[in-house]
Structure formats: structure tokens, C-alpha cells
Amino acid sequence: MTTRAVSRRAALRRIGAGAGALTLLPFLSDEGLAAFVHIQGTKAAPSLKVLSPSQYATLEALVEAIIPADERSPGAREARVADYFDLVLSEAQPSLKEEWLAGLAAFDAEATRRFGKPFLRLDAGQVEALLTDVSRFEAVKTKPEETAREVTRYDQPTQKPVLVEGLLGDVSRFDPDRPRPPLEAFFATTKRATIHGYYTSEIGIHKELRYKGNQILAEFQGCLTQDGKDCPHCGQKA
Amino acid sequence: MPADPTLDVDLAAVTDESRKLSASIQPRSGPWDVIVVGSGAAGGMTAFQLAMAGIKVLMLEAGRMIDHRKEYRTMEWPYQSPRRFRMPPDHRPIAVAEYNFLDRPYGNNPAYDKYKKVTSYAGNTFTRNWVVNEKEHPTTGTQYSWVRARVLGGKTNFWGRGALRYGPLQFKAASHDGYDVDWPISYEDVSPYYDKVDVLLGCSGTKEGLMQVPDGIFQRPVKLNCVEVHFKRAIAKMGRHYIPGRAGVTTDGLLNSKYRARCMGRGRCGRGCDIGAAFHSPTALVYPARDSGNLTIRPYSVVSEVLLDAGTGRAAGVRVIDANTREVMDFKAKVVVLGAGTLDSTRILLNSKSARHPAGLGNSSGLLGCYLSEHLMGPRGSGFIPVRIGTEPTLDDGRPVGPYIPRFRNVTDKHPDFIRGYHFQGGGGAYEYPGMAHDLPGFGKAFKSSVRKYYPAMISIGGFGEVLPRKENRVSLDAVVKDAWGIPVLRFDFRFGDNDLKMAKDMADSAEEMLKAAGAEAIKIERDPLPEGWSIHEIGTARMGDDPKTSVTDKFCRLHDVSNVYLADAAPFVSGGTQNTTWSILAMCWRTMDHLKERMRVGDV
């Protein structure tokens, strides 16, 4: 990858930064900003730190299968979620990194075992079948009795610390640590990080969610019923 | 691993300024009339009140100065950083479950060896340079998620902005239900000071006429968004109020401050408000106080103890350990005001041992450190309001706080299972990050469209319950463990009690009841309390009272035992209601300082 020199002004224009960029300016070095803008540009080649080109290609297909392009917005591929994975992996503890890479290999092997070809070359129906199987764990997880945390309070501190380590995604989110099949665990981890990567991207925030905040407002409007009007947004009457 | 230039705020200039400042201020640089320890809500208000009255003040802050223009990254988008707001790899916040399971001190756990900085749960990409490293600041005893910030302004740099008043129900709680004791003062004593704080600092809210959360002098209120109006109408039928949150934020502007502009509706105030609309101690109090010419700020000044003049029996000053040079020096003044935060102020007093005060300064009652109280959090509920499912998102989060459900238990009725009460905070709508996506099953186009379908409809409320003040809930000095500066650390002996846990159950039940009344879909109820300390509303370890045998300070927050030592933070609070603590700290501190100023005027100190 060649990092082209980008002026700050041009760079900010290209990442679509508004007034908020003014507060960003002091913290980004020219080099860091230029590199980042380059990565954000969808056509730039990835600058991989951990993933091999083939792992990257498989991951791109997987994240796109989790959050695909549709009529409303581009998907995780164009949002460069796989690049985000690569960065996170590069900073992860070695054991967690190895575990996830092994999961990716096992996932691809499962595709080959079932359909005789790697994940990258599966057709849409085969992708659907495979992901339906590995995401089965989630349907169970969403039952209320399963999400209830078993936390024994006020007993003596355990001798063996139970750490909530997260390779990907938000480490502060509590995830019940309980055994589950490796491929399903791999899927859960990957989905969590895909959600985080996608919905923190420019595409995810602005094009997909059409999030409207983080703007300078004269006054926060809220529901118009509060001004004694019928609200066109929610249809509630004054 | 090299610092990532796209992530790290360059703190070289402010660090350099702080070092120069601390090196230039020596014990001989005085004289000062008053020493104040800490620079948050309590320290800031102390300095502001005294300096504006012409009193020479030395402020001792354990951390560095803050570069508020650079460090308050209010409008930064997540995609402006490749890490998307994740902490750098050598930083790690303690996760919620770890508080319950890991041995104390948390930071010493071998599993954390690989991290350079381990912070409380409040550490994130925006606060991580402010909150302390648990490795340098251990605690022992029972689990407690103690959030501390050592930087100018302390925790006010990222506080939640909830600006609520205690009312008659809090000051006279014992008279209401017979438990424990009343405050030695009443709402009428403090009400004028709440008024002054509202006017000086700006407070947004609506007049509701509710005695459980008295009205203030309000600026333009923040509005409810569409899901919230729906929820408000639904719970109004149950006789419950859902009111605009009261925020310590100026929405109309302030004519008294050159450091603060009015709210521009951007949200994300918890990163620090770069235009100063939200109250943060540096811009609101410390800088104006410094402009008076009467305030000296010494950063990197870790106070270990209050020094006693053996001849007079009065405090002579404080002992400071320079956080960088480790040099120990004694600063002298006529009066010492502790505003280091409830627990750290208590720790300083416990560590101020002398022949006359063997159990710590101000501890002749033996009650210093007892009656630690806070707010129980954790029980909460969420769901999706049907009227907004599948609609286009509106701008729902351009405001400093979400709405508020005032306490409804044990106000006029009497609950069979518990005394005191709780309130809820929380709202809904389309916030920047769709956290609910993590709870939606599936993948592919169906998953993606379900995220955007439910995205505008989310509502979530969480309870804050009064933890009963109990003598056995206490902190003391650990006999063995010391912090990075050799000062004994706090040992917690704090557990939620029977009343607290019964209340927690009702909080979860109420959340469920209200979400059902609103017709919410996919209701999710969390019932477990979060770890102790989560509210960051700790109070009560040096409670006030008229009788020196049963209290630590008098009704002006002055130690019964030593007439020139004051507590400016929430340590003297007798009980904490359900209200967020900061606004009461500010009002009580102003009242205390009026008392001190009068004593100084008549030459009583």
C-alpha cells in the first residue's frame, strides 16, 4: 500500500467530517490521518498486519454474509470491517488471536467438509445453511432464563480468577462464560465484532442507520407533541 | 507497543505545564489562608467561594492539570479512530463480573500483569487519561467498584450531569419512616444554596411541584423524544411521572462565565463538553477562581495526612507527597478543607494519626468511615415501543440527559417490603450505537433490517435505589497494603443489606410493569444489582450531627474534634436519598464556605 500525502483539509473532506473534525485535528498526526483516510477509501488495498490475503478474503465474505449490502446501504465488506478485525487481532493477546484464527480455519474446513469447497466459494444457499447451523446457539441464548446471570454474591473470592476476556468487540460487555461448540463460539465472537465494526463505520452510522445526531443544534426538538402539535414522526396526537 | 498517533491525545504540553507548576510552588511560596484538597465539585466550589471573597487559597490536586480544549473530545465520530473507541491494547477496564469474582486488590491480579493500566469500569477511550490506575491505587476488603479520577476537575470531567435536589424526604428521612437519624439541617437550610448553584452554574429542568425532588431555578428544559412521550403517557395512567432530566448544563447560557457557552444539543457530554455547556469543575469554577488572583493550584500533590499543631490542637496544614518527585513537604494554612471525594477525604483523616487522635483526625466518636452509603444500580429494563418500530430514525439524543422517573415508593404510601425508595433514569430512541443489535439473533439481510427496524424504538430505564446507611458498612485503613505513594489504602466492608435487595427486586418488577404498560415489545429485565460502588455516589463516611459522640462533623461540615478542618464533599451527608449527589455537594459546599467566610471575617480562625 502506498500512503499518499493528503492535506488535512482534503482528508477531512474525504472522511466526511463536519464540525467535529475541528476537535479531532490536534490528535491525528498527518501520517496517521493520511493512512486512515486511505483505509477508509473503499478501493484502497488492505494493509494487513495479521491476516493472510486468503484469510482476509474469507473474513470479508463472512462479515458480508452477517451484514450484507442491501437496497438501503452497503454492507460490512464496503465498510471495511475486515480491516478493523485485522487491527484488533494485531493488538489481541496471542492466545486469543490464535484461538480466533483457529476458529476461522475450522469454519472454512466445515464448509469444505459439507460442500466440498471453501467458504469463499459457497453459493448463497450454502452460506445460509452453514450460518443457520452455527448461529443456532443464539436462539437458545435469547431465552430469558438463559440470559440470567448466575452470580454468587458475597462468597469468598474465588482462587482461580474468572476473567472476561474479549478478543473482539466490547470487552466490558458481560458475556456468560459457558461451554458451547467451537464453531458457534467463533460465530458469536465474529458477529459481535462485525456489529461493532459495521455500526461504528461511516457507512453503518450514516447510510444504514441514518443516525441524525452529533450535530450542532439551536435547540433539541424531540417529539413535537411537546410543543402542542401532532407529531409527524411518531403519529402521536398533541 | 508504540503509541498510536491516531488514538493518543498528546498530553506533553499539559504534563509539562503541570510539572513546572508543581515544582514552582513550594511550602515557602505562601502564605495561604486556606488549603483545599481536591479540585472536583467540592474542591472547585471551595476555591471559587473563597477566592472570590479575597481569601488566599492553595488547591492541591493529586493529578495533573487538564487541557480541556484538547481532552474533551465531544464530537469525535468512532470512525475517526481505526480502533473505534476501543482502548489501546495495554489499557484495560475492569469488567462488571470481575468486580465480584476477582481478589482484591483488583489491579494486583496476575491476569492483569500484561496491562500497563487497569482502570475502574468507568475507564474508556475518553476518560482513560483521567481515571486512576488500579495498580497504583489498590483497595482491599469486600468488592467495590470505586471510581476515582486524578486530574484537575476530578470526576466532574465525565459526570452524568444529573442535577437533582435532596428534599424534605431526604433531610428528614428518619422522621418519615423511623429508621436511623435525620440530618441536623433541613431542606430550608440548603434550598437557598441550591438556588444559588442553579443560577451560577446553570441547571436545565421543568417545574413539577414534586416534594421528592424539589424544583429549582431552571433554564430551558431538554425535551422528550417520540418513544419517551409514548412511555410518559403510558405510565401517567399509573400515576407515575416521566419528566425531562434535570441537567447540570446551561441550556440558555450564562452571563457570568467567559469559559462556558450554552448547550448546542450535540449529546455525548460524558466525554467532557468542549464548549463548557455541561458543568465541569475546571471551566465552571477553578479557572474563574484562578482569574481572581487568589487561587494557587498545585498539581501532582498527593495529600497523605492533615497535620496537627500539638500546641493548639488545631490543624496546621497538610503533608504532601509530590506525585512525580516523591518529595515530601508540609504546606501550612489557617484552615484545611478536604474535598478529595467522600472516600479519599475519609482516608486522609483516618491516616492523620497523632497521640491526641490515635484513630485518625476527627474520629473521637469512632464513626469515621462508618455509614458508607450510595445508590444501588443494576435492576433495569428495556424494550421497543411499537409506535416507532420500523420508522425512520429521528434526532433523539441531542441533549445532555435522558428523562427521569421520580421516586414513587414510600412517598405518600408505605411499601410492605422495604423503606425509602428509588428513581429511574433512562430514555430511548435512536442513539448513535445500536447496542440492541447484540441481542438480535440471526445474520444476513434479515438481521440487518431487524436492526434498523428496532433501532428508533428502543427504550431503556435503570433504577437508582437508596442504600440504607448502616454503621457496619464502613471503610478503614488496611494494615498492610499501601498505594504507590506509600499511603495505606482503604479496606472496604460494604454489603448491600436486606432492605436494599428487597428494593432491588421491586425496581426490576416496576421496570417490567411500566414497560408492559407501554406495550413494549421484547422486554428484557435485568434483576441483579451491579457491583457495589457502581453509582459513584458514595456518601456518609463522616456524617454530620449535633452530638460529637454520634457524628463526625457539625452541621457546617466542620470536624467536631478540630475546629479548622472542613469537609466539602459528600462525606458528611447523613443519607443520600435516590438523587445523584453532585448538585447537593455543590450546594452544601457553598453553604459550608459561607460559614467559613463569616468565621474568617470575624477573626474566628
Work out the end-to-end distance of chain B between its first and last CA atoms, rounded to an integer number of angstroms.
Answer: 54
Q: Say if residues B569 and B341 touch (Cβ distance below 8 Å).
A: yes
If you search the block for the grid coordinates 433490517, which residue do you land on? Answer: B449
H/E run at residue B445: helix B444-454
If you search the block for the grid coordinates 414513587, which residue do you land on? Answer: B408
* Mean pLDDT score across all residues of chain A: 74
pLDDT at residue number B89: 86
C-alpha–C-alpha distance, residues B209 and B410, integer Å: 17
Max Cα-Cα span within chain B: 79
Q: Which residues of A touch B438 (CB under 8 A)?
A: 173, 192, 195
User: pLDDT tier at A180 (50, 70, 90 boundaries)?
Assistant: low
Cis check: omega of the bond before A118, within 30 degrees of 0: no
A130 touches chain B (CB under 8 A): no
CB spacing of A205 vs B78 below 8 angstroms: yes
**Half-sphere CA count of B380, side-chain side, radius 13 A:** 16
User: pLDDT tier at B7 (50, 70, 90 boundaries)?
Assistant: low
Q: Going along B131-277, which residue ranges are E strands?
A: 140-141
pLDDT at residue B342 tops 90: yes
Give the burial string for B587-601 (b: 16+ CB within 10 Å, else e): bbbbbbbbbbbebbe
Q: Which of A156, A214, A230 is the best residue to mutate to test the B interface, defined by the most B CB atoms within 10 Å of its own CB?
A: A214
Q: Which residues of B touch A72 (CB under 8 A)?
A: 452
CB spacing of A217 vs B387 below 8 angstroms: no
pLDDT at residue B5 tops 90: no
Q: Which residues of B touch A92 (CB under 8 A)?
A: 89
If you search the block for the grid coordinates 435547540, which residue do you land on? Answer: A219
- Taking only the tens place, the pLDDT of each residue in B458-480 is 999 999 999 999 999 999 999 99
Close Cβ partners of A150 (under 8 Å, ≥ 6 residues apart):
A176
> In Å, how far is B74's CA from the nearest CA of chain A?
8
Backbone angles phi, psi at B567, to 5 degrees: -110, 125
B220 touches chain A (CB under 8 A): yes
A161 closest CB neighbour out of B85, B102, B395: B102
> In Å, how far is A42's CA from the nearest CA of chain B?
14
Close Cβ partners of A70 (under 8 Å, ≥ 6 residues apart):
B445, B448, B449
pLDDT at residue A26 tops 80: no
* Mean pLDDT score across all residues of chain B: 96
Q: Which residues of B touch A151 (CB under 8 A)?
A: 97, 100, 528
Q: In 10 A of CB A161, how many CB atoms?
A: 15
If you search the block for the grid coordinates 484502497, which residue do you land on? Answer: A44
Report the pLDDT averaged over residues B549-560.
98
User: pLDDT tier at A134 (50, 70, 90 boundaries)?
Assistant: confident
Residue B87: strand, helix, or coil: coil
pLDDT-wise least confident of A145-154, B6-15, B245-254: A145-154
User: pLDDT tier at A96 (50, 70, 90 boundaries)?
Assistant: confident
A20 closest CB neighbour out of B75, B224, B449: B75
B209 touches chain A (CB under 8 A): no
Give the burial string for A136-146 (b: 16+ CB within 10 Å, else e): ebbeebeeeee
Q: Say if residues B158 and B272 touch (Cβ distance below 8 Å).
A: yes
Q: How far is CA B582 from CA A104, B60, B201, B513, in A?
A: 49, 20, 12, 30
pLDDT at residue number B605: 87
pLDDT at residue A3 tops 50: no
Q: In 10 A of CB A212, how many CB atoms?
A: 16
Q: Which of B80, B225, B534 is the best residue to mutate to test the A interface, defined by the most A CB atoms within 10 Å of its own CB?
A: B80
pLDDT at residue number A39: 57
C-alpha–C-alpha distance, residues B397 and A212, integer Å: 9
Q: How far is CA B158 from CA B40, B56, B351, B505, B569, in A?
A: 11, 29, 29, 29, 17
Q: Which residues of B touch A164 (CB under 8 A)?
A: 95-98
pLDDT at residue number A162: 41
pLDDT at residue number B275: 96
Close Cβ partners of B138 (under 8 Å, ≥ 6 residues apart):
B104, B105, B106, B107, B108, B481, B483, B489
Report the pLDDT averaged over residues B280-285.
98
User: pLDDT tier at A38 (50, 70, 90 boundaries)?
Assistant: low
Determine the residue of chain A that is closest to B222 in CA distance.
A220
Beta bridge partners of B35: B58, B336
Report the pLDDT averaged over residues B421-440.
95
Q: Say if residues B149 and B127 touch (Cβ distance below 8 Å).
A: yes
**Domain parsing of chain B, residue ranges:** 13-68+149-161+274-374+471-494+538-601, 227-243+375-466+496-526
C-alpha–C-alpha distance, residues B299 and B297, integer Å: 6
Fold of B13-68+149-161+274-374+471-494+538-601: FAD/NAD(P)-binding domain (3.50.50)
> In Å, how far is A66's CA from the nearest CA of chain B?
5
Cβ pairs bridging A and B (under 8 Å): 254
Q: Which residues of A touch B271 (CB under 8 A)?
A: none
Q: In 10 A of CB B224, how many CB atoms?
A: 26
Q: Say if residues A137 and A217 touch (Cβ distance below 8 Å).
A: no
pLDDT at residue A4 tops 90: no
pLDDT at residue number B436: 92
- Taking only the tens place, the pLDDT of each residue in B293-324 is 999 999 999 999 999 999 999 999 999 999 99
Length, in residues, of chain B: 605
B389 touches chain A (CB under 8 A): no
Report the pLDDT averaged over residues A34-50.
68
Backbone angles phi, psi at B310, to 5 degrees: -60, -30
Q: In 10 A of CB B238, how many CB atoms?
A: 11
User: pLDDT tier at A151 (50, 70, 90 boundaries)?
Assistant: very low
ipTM score assigned to the predicted complex = 0.93
CATH class of the domain whose range is B227-243+375-466+496-526? alpha beta
A223 closest CB neighbour out of B229, B431, B528: B229
Of B10, B159, B153, give the one whose Cα is nearest residue B70.
B10
Close Cβ partners of B293 (under 8 Å, ≥ 6 residues apart):
none
CB < 8 Å from B in window 134-193 of A: 135, 138-139, 141-142, 144, 147-149, 151, 153-154, 157-158, 161-164, 170-174, 191-192
User: pLDDT tier at A43 (50, 70, 90 boundaries)?
Assistant: low
Q: Which residues of B touch A40 (CB under 8 A)?
A: 79
pLDDT at residue number B564: 98
Report the pLDDT averaged over residues B381-392.
96
Q: Say if residues B204 and B247 touch (Cβ distance below 8 Å).
A: yes
pLDDT at residue A172 tops 90: no
B101 closest CB neighbour out of A148, A161, A225: A161
CB spacing of B80 vs A70 below 8 angstroms: no
> In Å, how far is A116's CA from the nearest CA of chain B?
23
If you search the block for the grid coordinates 467438509, which residue do you land on? Answer: A113
pLDDT at residue B211 tops 90: yes
pLDDT-wise least confident of B56-70, B85-99, B425-439: B85-99
pLDDT at residue A56 tops 70: yes
pTM, entire model: 0.91
pLDDT at residue number B85: 87
C-alpha–C-alpha distance, residues B174 and A27, integer Å: 52
CB spacing of B80 vs A15 below 8 angstroms: yes
pLDDT at residue number B97: 83
A228 touches chain B (CB under 8 A): no
Q: Which residues of B touch A32 (CB under 8 A)?
A: 4-6
CB < 8 Å from A in window 464-523 of B: 495
C-alpha–C-alpha distance, residues B87 and B3, integer Å: 12
H helices of chain A, in order, are 8-14, 21-24, 30-40, 53-66, 81-91, 94-115, 124-134, 136-141, 144-147, 182-199, 202
B237 touches chain A (CB under 8 A): no
User: pLDDT tier at A21 (50, 70, 90 boundaries)?
Assistant: very low
Torsion, Cα of B347, B353, B357, B360 (10° steps):
10
Backbone angles phi, psi at B405, to 5 degrees: -105, 105
H helices of B186-271, in order, are 187-201, 226-236
CB spacing of B76 vs A23 below 8 angstroms: yes
pLDDT at residue number B3: 42
pLDDT more than 70, % of chain B: 99
pLDDT more than 90, % of chain B: 93
Q: How far is CA B371 from CA B168, B301, B543, B586, in A?
A: 20, 28, 8, 21
pLDDT at residue A14 tops 80: no
C-alpha–C-alpha distance, residues B340 and B303, integer Å: 9
B92 touches chain A (CB under 8 A): yes
